[in-house]
Amino acid sequence: MNVALKVGLTPASRCQYISTENEQLAVVLSPDMHHPAGYQQLINAGFRRSGNMMYRPHCPHCNACQSLRIDVGAYQPSKSQKRHRSQLKRLRVKVSDQLDPNWFLLYDQYITARHADGNMYPAKAEDFIAFTHSDWLHPCFIHLYEPNNGEETLVAIAVTDVLSDGLSALYSFFDPFHRFSLGRVCIQAQLEYASAEKKSWLYLGYQIDDCPAMRYKADYFPHQRFINHQWRPFSLPISTA
């Protein structure tokens, strides 16, 4: 970045992804960066946002977190990702700047089934709004509906920031008991929306190779990772499943 950036460091605490490590965040304090163009510069430098807060890992003894972005135009789905695309075609996709009225029922079901041992349980609407919205950037909501006897059932929502060069996947929640791989289907929905909007990148947040729950992000090729202050390309392997 070519601007002076003021940041603060959070106290070190136990990492929620790698149990043997402590985590610490660099948090942006510069008020003149709190707008969409400023966030675009920051996400290009490996930052993310949660609510109004823009941050990047700054851990004392670990650099396992790597920002990852998929090259939308060059993306080549694997065999399993082609199945996820086929699953997406069976659903209706609706992009809106407002949440479906039934969103919280789905969100509560998801949190209860998948994250009952985490700090997001029990599900609270105000907590969800606090970390997905900000004063300077309003996300879009990619809704997935499944046809059901002439009606529709809301099965997933991908919360996504729209930036000048890409989309940033902020959070997804879905029917945890559905037969489809809805988390992966949400990524396909965001890739299709990014392509339709002629965006270059889909930012997926932080990839942590040592955390099994986060490894799925590295399955999308080609992608880039932010390593040692620059984006480095990772190409399609010889064979994918």
Q: Return the pLDDT at 61.
A: 87
Which amino acid belongs to residue 119?
N
Q: Return the pLDDT at 240.
A: 44
Q: Return the pLDDT at 40.
A: 97
Match domain 69-234 to its CATH number in 3.40.630.30, 3.30.1360.10, 3.40.50.720, 3.90.1420.10: 3.40.630.30
Q: What are 212's two structure tokens?
A: 């099994």
List the chain pLDDT tens, one digit each, 241 residues: 556 799 999 999 999 889 899 999 999 999 999 999 999 999 999 999 999 999 999 998 899 999 999 999 999 999 999 999 999 999 999 999 999 999 999 999 999 999 998 889 999 999 999 999 999 999 999 999 999 888 999 999 999 999 999 999 999 999 999 999 999 999 999 999 999 999 999 999 999 998 888 889 999 999 999 999 999 999 876 544 4
Q: Return the pLDDT at 237.
A: 66
Q: Return the pLDDT at 215.
A: 85
Domain layout of the chain by residue ranges:
7-67, 69-234
Sheet with 92-96, edge to edge strand ranges: 92-96, 140-148, 151-162, 166-174, 201-208, 65-71, 223-227, 230-234
Q: Return the pLDDT at 117.
A: 87
* Residue 150 to residues 89, 118, 164, 176, Cα–Cα distance (Å): 17, 37, 38, 23
Contact between 204 and 218 under an 8 Å Cβ cutoff? The reply is no
Strand partners, 159: 141, 171
Q: Return the pLDDT at 60.
A: 83
Q: Return the pLDDT at 201.
A: 98
Q: Return the pLDDT at 213.
A: 83
The predicted model scores a pTM of: 0.94
Q: Return the pLDDT at 76.
A: 95
Q: How far apart are CA 106 and CA 111, in angstroms?
A: 9
DSSP state, residue 28: E
Task: With H, G, I as helix, E, B as strand and everything else as coil, classify residue 158.
Answer: strand
Burial class (CB in 10 A: 0-12, 13-18, 19+), 237: exposed
Cβ neighbour number for residue 193 with a 10 Å cutoff:
20
